[in-house]
């Protein structure tokens, strides 16, 4: 039973009697010191926690309560022996019989200080599959310092994780098989050291990620596209000054954009209704045998599932360090998170793969990203082709045994493709869903090399008049050949431009734009003189003139 102590603290004052409530309010105001912490709610919660539950968290609250009580200087209890006796008894558990308990069971006694209805702080709701974040469940010691129990057996990374569902053996095997096709081999060291690491803020591209010459480069540049989308077009109130300075963000702005980029990719992969994040713990969750070789990552995953986008944002902000530092397996954790957000069954269904096809995997033998994985990152659907819709007939008009599945809606980030080894009549078809995305940002694949082509003018993909004269930025993230700016002219040829020799003047359009000759031999000679990056741009803006501003064409 609860014992209410209505009059415990008082003050001797020459002006007259002062109520206990006024004394407590004055005391809390003095103790607060203008820090902005509501100590009235904290004291109520401390009293409830320390006398109702015997837990490590209550122990921390008990220490806080003792510190508050010891600071009650120049205050004394009323000279009432009965009141003092009741306060001392309230500190000790009593033996009562209630609610069907046996006589003599120990039940702690509750004490409230001038508060009839103490404020109950909500607790984190933990479930097996869904993880909900509650920002109100934070215990304060001094101002905004979060108290974390000092457990010597766990690292700081493990102590920062709350809740989650340990990965099972079956899920780990399925992840390894759909990623690299086997449970015996694991991802290489290049993938393990890859993460979303920013360039130095003193460079011309502080928004860019470091990329390596390995299979993770395409994976990182897909997130680079969504990062640029949030930096340039993710502001609530856009202005010309904000658009001008969007490519020179500070550390806070680019980490906020990184958090939004990760949330966008995962939430899109989950059908905008759910998603999953994988974080690595210190110890494995299951035993292994000869059928499963330990890789040090997959068997240590803790899974967090979200059904609210706000909860996903809060969780990603708290654990962003798992993805933005080197040697943290950041890219592997994000890869597993994207796969589990889409679910393995839906990936197989999107790709149109039969259940018995064991050769299907998202990474090639060289650990390069496949078309299925690129589409999954850019559009949220793991389709194996870049064209629009489904193709059910071949070029000769015959019915195909299985339709060729393509894209069904415009993506947030597009794709441009060029390969010099392809025959002119058998070029890879890129549909308008990728050529004209919702944002003027394109992932480029040029002769096996990946990059990002983007513009800070959002009207470039919605207004055809803007396409007459515009500027594009090209970023690769590599140590050399990193960045360049291109000016695209599609309406007219500048007067100061050097005219080609007469034998190369094969014609112009009505707007003086060049067009390629239809003869195969002349076309081949012409294409060999055009840099590969220009060839890729010409697949989107046919006949355009491209100015490199004195930079040597490196792609």
pLDDT tens digits, 380-424: 999 999 999 999 988 888 888 888 999 999 999 999 999 988 887
How does pLDDT run across 44-99, given as a tens digit for each residue?
655 555 555 555 556 666 666 666 655 544 444 444 465 556 556 655 554 444 44
> How many residues make up the chain in this entry?
555
Q: Which residues of the chain have pLDDT under 50?
A: 1-16, 34-37, 72-80, 94-129, 135-154, 156, 159, 502-503, 506-513, 515
H/E stretch holding 277 reads strand 275-280
Residue 124 C-alpha from the chain's centroid: 21
Burial class (CB in 10 A: 0-12, 13-18, 19+), 113: middle
**Encoding tokens for residue 407?**
């894209």
Alpha-carbon dihedral sign for residues 151, 157, 163, 168? negative
* Confidence (pLDDT) at 341: 95
Residue 48: which H helix or E strand, with range?
Answer: helix 39-52
CA angle (315 as vertex; 414, 296 as ends), nearest 5: 85
Residues 106 and 273: their CA atoms lie apart, in Å, by: 47
pLDDT of residue 545: 87
Which pLDDT score is estimated for 379? 95
Q: Give the predicted TM-score (pTM) of the model.
A: 0.69
Q: Single out the residue of 477, 446, 399 nearest to residue 553, CA to CA.
A: 446
Looking only at the bridges linking them, the beta strands covering 414-418 and 441-446 are parallel
Separation between Cα atoms, residue 167 and residue 187, nearest integer Å: 18
Beta strand residue intervals within 66-119, DSSP E? 76-77, 94-96, 105-107, 110-113
- Could you tell me the two tokens for 434? 């990728």
User: Which residues contact residue 315 at a Cβ distance below 8 angstroms, ignoring those fewer than 6 apart?
Assistant: 131, 133, 277, 304, 306
Calculate helix-pair angle for 371-379, 251-269, nearest 10 degrees: 110
Helix 216-233, helix 251-269: angle, nearest 10: 110
pLDDT value at residue 194: 92
pLDDT score at 191: 92
Residue 336 φ/ψ, nearest 5 degrees: -65, -35
Contacts of 530 (CB under 8 A, 6+ apart): 538
Digit-coded pLDDT (tens) for 105-128: 444 444 444 434 443 433 333 333
Residue 313: per-residue pLDDT: 93
Dihedral sign from CA coordinates of 76, 80, 83, 86 = positive
Count the alpha carbons within 13 Å of 417 in the hemisphere toward its beta carbon.
Answer: 18
């Amino acid at each position: 039973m609860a014992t209410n102590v209505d009059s415990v603290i008082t003050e001797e004052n020459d002006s007259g009697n002062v109520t206990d409530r006024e004394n407590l309010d004055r005391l809390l105001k003095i103790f607060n010191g203008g820090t902005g912490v509501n100590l009235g709610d904290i004291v109520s919660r401390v009293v409830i926690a320390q006398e109702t539950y015997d837990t490590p968290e209550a122990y921390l609250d008990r220490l806080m309560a003792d510190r508050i009580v010891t600071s009650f200087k120049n205050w004394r209890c009323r000279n009432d022996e009965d009141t003092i006796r009741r306060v001392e008894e309230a500190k000790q558990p009593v033996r009562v019989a209630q609610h069907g308990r046996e006589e003599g069971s120990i039940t702690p006694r509750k004490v409230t200080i001038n508060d009839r209805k103490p404020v109950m702080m909500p607790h984190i709701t933990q479930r097996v599959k869904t993880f909900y974040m509650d920002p109100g469940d934070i215990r304060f010691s001094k101002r905004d310092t979060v108290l974390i129990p000092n457990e010597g057996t766990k690292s700081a990374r493990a102590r920062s994780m709350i809740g989650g569902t340990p990965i099972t053996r079956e899920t780990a095997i399925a992840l390894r098989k759909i990623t690299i096709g086997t449970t015996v081999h694991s991802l290489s060291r290049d993938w393990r050291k890859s993460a979303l690491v920013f360039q130095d803020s003193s460079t011309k591209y502080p928004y860019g990620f470091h990329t390596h010459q390995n299979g993770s480069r395409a994976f990182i540049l897909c997130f680079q596209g969504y990062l640029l989308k949030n930096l340039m077009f993710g502001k609530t109130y856009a202005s010309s000054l904000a658009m001008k300075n969007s490519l020179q963000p500070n550390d806070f702005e680019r980490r906020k954009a990184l958090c939004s980029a990760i949330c966008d990719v995962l939430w899109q992969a989950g059908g905008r209704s759910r998603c999953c994040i994988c974080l690595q713990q210190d110890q494995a969750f299951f035993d292994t045998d000869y059928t499963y070789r330990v890789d040090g990552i997959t068997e240590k995953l803790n899974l967090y599932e979200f059904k609210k986008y706000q909860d996903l944002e809060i969780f990603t902000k708290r654990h962003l360090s798992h993805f933005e530092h080197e040697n943290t397996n950041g890219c592997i954790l994000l890869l597993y998170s994207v796969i589990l957000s889409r679910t393995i069954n839906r990936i197989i269904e999107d790709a149109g793969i039969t259940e018995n096809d064991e050769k299907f995997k998202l990474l090639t033998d060289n650990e390069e990203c496949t078309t299925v994985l690129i589409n999954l990152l850019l559009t949220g659907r793991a389709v194996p082709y870049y064209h629009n819709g489904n193709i059910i007939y071949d070029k000769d008009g015959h019915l195909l045994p299985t339709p060729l599945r393509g894209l069904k809606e415009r993506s947030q980030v597009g794709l441009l493709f060029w390969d010099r080894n392809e025959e002119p009549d058998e070029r890879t078809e890129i549909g308008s869903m990728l050529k004209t995305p919702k944002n003027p940002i394109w992932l480029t694949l040029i002769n096996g090399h990946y990059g990002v082509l983007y513009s800070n003018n959002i009207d470039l993909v919605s207004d055809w008049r803007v396409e007459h004269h515009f500027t594009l930025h090209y970023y690769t993230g590599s140590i050399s050949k990193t960045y360049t700016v291109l000016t695209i002219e599609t309406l007219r040829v500048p007067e100061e431009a050097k005219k080609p020799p007469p034998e190369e003047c094969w014609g112009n359009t009505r707007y003086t734009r060049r067009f390629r000759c239809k003869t195969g031999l002349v076309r081949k000679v012409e294409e060999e003189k055009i840099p590969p990056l220009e060839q890729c741009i010409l697949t989107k803006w046919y006949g355009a003139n491209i100015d490199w501003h004195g930079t040597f064409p490196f792609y």
